[in-house]
Structure 1
């Protein structure tokens, strides 16, 4: 394997393919006059004054109908991230741009407060982390997620958090207070227990041990916590499924979920490039299994299929997960019932009941 084919250390990819909306494309040609400079790998954070902050969906595959994403792009650099194609909407590449040219919605908390204060607003759990990770490294300085949690706590609004960042423990004070009022549930994403695989698959995400510690600490503080084994990648991490669930259960997780690898739009060629660089001998077999799970294609976007896939491999994976779930007692999702009745905008009229 040539080192030239590997991405820069700490990044998921070294490629920056054109986004699908680009009106023109340039092809480099070596005329002998210059040497092509490597793509910059320094993280750049742009500021956005967002016009709205709560995104809504009608997907039957998701357990929530609204979400907040304080950031566009994600410094974790997970090569498989299904959110990569969204960077094309900002005239940026789903490749290296997605993990190095980030956008922070600095008015997120203020917008959230405005939307929650509208007279017609109907309370239902909001998810933080549906598209990009709310606890990616830049959150340490930006603190947009923390400010949103402060608003949600003040309004007594239920929230669910999904992250693979151990930075979530910084906000334990807010999260534990939300938990006391049945206003929060957390899902920690755990993809592998292998540090080396994590390094190349999710370069800037927290180590497996740090995520397990996050589960342990959150549960110790009385916070409902589950584990999300996602994505499961055939012939890469699928053999770890039961071990991931066992480790999470031992750390205190109460529930579990999984998702099969999704490769929408520009993610597919980026992932195939990653396979060729890191697993050249099994790359063809991995893609063959993925196509078997997606009706012969690399991706199937249909509701009811995109998260689980179909065919023998997908069915076997579902059976393994179901058996492990029962054996480990990780089927207590009902414990996560969040209380929407506590919602009370500051200054609003209190109920007489």
Structure 2
């Protein structure tokens, strides 16, 4: 963008550190919203209509809002996923989208493996028995869990997070690794002895299936009733991808009928998960509130990368992790704003 002297205007949504706000303020006028609610939504929309840049987590942005933001040139989301943003419209408008990959890979893989451990060993269910005063004698077979070590781990989507989860399983727990991917992963096969499978074969062979695919039209309800029926009745399903990768009513039915044994879920089709959802009350479900990257260290690193992306785009040095840099560098398809 290259016009470093221009008085850029930025809308920031989310708690940022003083140093991060100072970095933004060095290149732009910043209007800051810690959160968006019905009480300040009109103020947010008014600020967005003047903004050249937008940064935040869980950003509310749709095509109608973009139409009212003619000067907008950069959106820097504090997340890896961007399925909540209208990318096609942004491409057409020449609006740069930046995300925060890499910095949350290991933390999200930690979460995946925590869910694997919890579902296999029934940790939440049995810890609740202690909390509720129900531990009155040595536990019997009806409360036994299942070993993690040596079990076959199926990774659906062997990208960065999937590979990091596979590494934990293979090197830490001696687990044979199966994976699905658009193309072979020679490094996983060489380092971990992993084997590539088509999805149907992986579902049939794995003792634990871990989902780490991006959400898009191809992965919507990737795991449906038919897919669940292919899994072992003793298998567990873990999801750290997106909730809509799973057909939730089909999963509820499969868990109730013991088509599969258990599920560990960090993401859901609707978030927060409604209290009325059967998933919230099932003993064979470990449900966490989308905590994949929720550590102090990782959230700080994600926010910093998002700030660096926005500052780089506005100052002319360039973003670090752009989703659509090619589209951004093309002439805008609308006359709104300046380039």
TM-score of the alignment, normalized to the shorter chain, above 0.5: no
TM-score by length of 1: 0.32
Larger radius of gyration: 2
